[in-house]
Amino acid sequence: MNLHQFAETHEVTNQPPSLDGINLYRIDLPLQEWSHRYGAGWAQSRIDTYGALAGGPLMAAGFLANQNKPVFVSHDRYGNRIDLVEFHPAYHELMRTAVEHGLPSLPWTDPQPGAHVARAAMSYLHSQAEAGSGCPLTMTFASVPALKIQPDLAEIWLPKILATEYDPRNVGISHKAGVTIGMAMTEKQGGTDVRANTTRAYPVGATGPGQAYELVGHKWFCSAPMCDAFLTLAQTDKGLTCFLLPRHRPDDSRNQFYVQRLKNKLGNWSNASSEVEFRGALVWMVGEEGRGVPTIIEMVAMTRFDCMVGSSALMRQALTQAAHHCAHRSVGGRVLSEQPLMQNVLADLALESEAALALTMRMGRALDHLQDSQEGRFARLVTAVGKYWICKRAPAMINEAAECMGGAGYVEETILPRLYREAPVNSTWEGSGNVQCLDVLRALSKEPGVLDALFDELGDGHGDKRLAAHIVHLKAAFKDTTDIQYRARQLTEDIAIGLQAKLLLEAGNASVSDGFIASRLAASGRVYGTLPRGVDVEALVARSSPQVG
Ligand SMILES: Cc1cc2nc3c(=O)[nH]c(=O)nc-3n(C[C@H](O)[C@H](O)[C@H](O)COP(=O)(O)OP(=O)(O)OC[C@H]3O[C@@H](n4cnc5c(N)ncnc54)[C@H](O)[C@@H]3O)c2cc1C
């Protein structure tokens, strides 16, 4: 008898083929269509290149960078304070690849129509492979409009921010060709309420924009503390003011910027988030004294847009994995993606994913055309609407996608647990859900033309009676201002769904727009997989399934 035959306990069957090394752009029909629609056709080969990287080496690096969390090293072996955060090499690979491909810089260095859409598409691919590194990448990208307010500082910093070189060394910027930028606003007593900041700025000599000050105080959250500089807020005699705080002083000595500890976070593990103290840190004033919030909001508006990109990306990656699994997994002798109830779930997830992408890309288009005042108003409103809605939808959607994969979706060898852990942060940071909804009310009531811009965009329903009725309902909801704060989430949700329905109708794929409108406007199931009868689920599932294996 051959004993080896007993060592072979079983043959592995009924498991999907690997998705390793897949080009995430080529399998993503909606991304191809939406990026073309909004003017990024010229960047297709760049996006395609990034799709191959994201599905290949960056995906692998993403696992390593999250298995090996950053470590805070306060002192060197001789007892000198160094305030270093050490990252796994995979994190640096993620950062380097993104910076070299222009993720933090493209729309600023090549500001042609479609540049914001193209960058959003690449960022969408990057975040599918690894989202934590997206934090310093987006802050670096977003710092540009705020820094431009202070031309003397911009002249020094922008060439290095926009250089496609990544240099993670803990040295002054005179030694670096490329730098990254962070943002530190939140203090212990108030994150939303930044006006309660107690950090104080003291002038070194002359006062006013561009002048040097010293900061004394703290920040309760400061992500990516190895960035080369941070935009931060501190009080002066004239109120809350924005400052640029470099890690090193111009003479290359360390600035008085002390990391206290790293946060032990639910997710977002590859990215370090810290608590910091400033004990006389040398800073330069950015923008007008006392106008810190309007100055830093130039940065925050962009990071909020990137929360839309990031949450859309997490949902897309979850959908890709779930659709792929179900296309190859049989239960009861039948492939899951052909079983009616699973088709209902997968198609519903596909609708959520595509609607999120549509709104995100439409927002990218608005950023590409800000010189058009209508687009400016649209961007002002939809930054808050989209940040709220898309980020809120992501955790439940990803949970459902993981469940489509059964037990495998709960196991760290798949990316699903990481996507799920990552999802909630986008709705919390950069202004939490309620804050976005209150900002929607502020934009609509205080900024001239925003309400008209919304209803111009929505039009008359684009030939769809259900959307037309939704718009009528929305107009009535805005006319009645009683209890409007109490109703702000419902109003924001209704705006988001109306806009998504309109964009999907405009795109002309009837299975997608009909499915979305039938389930989000006409009927309302409370969990995914409750699409009403008549939705073309087969077409939706096929559209979202990677064609491999
Ligand atoms: C992982 C991580 C990294 C972060 N990194 C940074 C960083 O790099 N830099 C930085 O500055 N900050 C950072 N933050 C902080 C983040 O931006 C804040 O936590 C966030 O803005 C909320 O502020 P808070 O924690 O003080 O909550 P609070 O302001 O106390 O808010 C608590 C809740 O109240 C709600 N709320 C507030 N006002 C109202 C109102 N008027 N009506 C109804 N509800 C209201 C909010 O929506 C929220 O849900 C980070 C946070 C996390 C989780």
Answer yes or no: is pLDDT of 223 > 60. yes
For a ligand 1 pocket test, name from 137, 143, 192, 487 the mutation site with the most ligand atoms within 8 angstroms of its C-beta. 192
Distance CA 58, CA 17 (A): 19
Testing ligand 1's pocket by substitution, the residue of 187, 230, 300, 435 carrying the most ligand atoms inside 8 A of its CB is 435
- 6 class by beta-carbon count within 10 Å (0-12 exposed, 13-18 middle, 19+ buried): exposed
How many whole angstroms from 191 Cα to the centroid of ligand 1? Answer: 5
- Percent of the chain as helix, strand, coil, to the nearest 5: 55, 15, 30
Task: Please give the residue that has the higher pLDDT: either 513 or 8.
Answer: 513
Ligand 1 atom closest to the Cα of residue 433 is 47
Give the closest residue (by CA) to ligand 1 atom 27: 191
Taken as a whole, the chain contains a residue count of 549
- What ligand 1 atom has the least distance to the C-alpha of 436? 47
Domains of the chain are 29-138 (no CATH), 173-293 (2.40.110.20), 295-544 (1.20.140.10)
DSSP state letters, 270-337 = TS-EEEEEEEEEEEEEESSTT-HHHHHHHHHHHHHHHHHHHHHHHHHHHHHHHHHHHHH-EETTEEGG
Tokens 């909804």: give the residue.
437
Q: Could you count the other beta carbons within 10 Å of the beta carbon of residue 56?
A: 16
Confidence of residue 115 (pLDDT cuts 50, 70, 90): very high
The finding on whether 442 has its CB within 6 A of some atom of ligand 1 is: no
Question: Once rounded to an integer, what is the mean pLDDT over residues 461-480?
Answer: 95
At 3 the pLDDT is 63
Residue 268, ligand 1, Cβ within 6 A: yes
Contact 273, 263 (CB under 8 A): yes
Give the atom of ligand 1 at the shortest distance from the alpha carbon of 432.
47
Q: What pLDDT shows up at residue 76?
A: 95
Cβ of 425 below 6 Å from ligand 1: yes
pLDDT digits (tens, 9 = 90+) for 282-311: 999 999 999 999 999 999 999 999 999 999
Which residues neighbour 44 within 8 Å (Cβ) at sequence distance 6 or greater?
32, 35, 36
Q: Over 70: is that where the pLDDT of 422 sits? A: yes
**Ligand 1 within 6 A of 515 CB?**
no
Q: How many angstroms separate the CA atoms of 87 and 168, rounded?
A: 10
Distances (CA, A) of 158 to 5, 72, 109: 67, 28, 10
Mean pLDDT of the chain: 96
pLDDT in tens, 256-276: 999 999 999 999 999 999 999
Instruction: Please tell me the distance between residue 380's alpha carbon and the centre of ligand 1 in angstroms.
Output: 20
Q: Is residue 217 within 8 Å of residue 283, measured between CB atoms?
A: no
Confidence of residue 1 (pLDDT cuts 50, 70, 90): low
Say if ligand 1 is within 6 A of residue 64 CB.
no
Q: What is the pLDDT of residue 276?
A: 98
Q: Which residues pair with 230 in a beta bridge?
A: 182, 245
Query: Does ligand 1 have an atom closer than 6 angstroms to the CB of 68?
Result: no
Q: Is the distance from CB of 214 to CB of 281 less than 8 angstroms?
A: yes
Q: Is 197 in the pocket of ligand 1 (CB under 6 A)?
A: no
DSSP state of 521: I
Is 259 strand, coil or helix? strand
What is the phi-psi region of residue 268: left when phi exceeds 0, alpha when psi lies from -120 to 50, beta otherwise?
left
Q: Calculate mean pLDDT across residues 249-260.
A: 97
pLDDT > 90? residue 508: yes
Tell whether the model's pLDDT for residue 212 goes beyond 90.
yes
For residue 2, the model assigns a pLDDT of: 67
CA 275 to ligand 1 center in whole angstroms: 14
Instruction: Return the pLDDT at 525.
Output: 83
Does 424 sit in the ligand 1 pocket, CB within 6 Å?
no
What is the three-class DSSP state of 184?
Answer: strand
Ligand 1 atom at minimum distance from 434 CA: 47
- Residues 532 and 522 sit within 8 Å (Cβ to Cβ): yes
- Give the model's pLDDT for residue 547: 77
Q: Give pLDDT, residue 41.
A: 98
Residue labelled with tokens 């390793």: 20
pLDDT at 128 over 80: yes
Q: Rounded to 5 degrees, what angle do the CA atoms 357, 360, 362 make?
A: 105
Residue 5 has pLDDT above 90, yes or no: no
- Mean pLDDT calculated for residue range 181-203: 96
Tell how far the Cα of 535 is from the centroid of ligand 1, in angstroms: 39
539 has pLDDT over 70: yes
The predicted-structure confidence for 70-96, as pLDDT tens digits, reads as follows 999 999 999 999 999 999 999 999 999
Asked if pLDDT for residue 143 goes beyond 80, the answer is yes
Distances (CA, A) of 434 to 430, 451, 491, 493: 12, 20, 12, 12
Confidence class of residue 8 from pLDDT cuts 50, 70 and 90?
confident
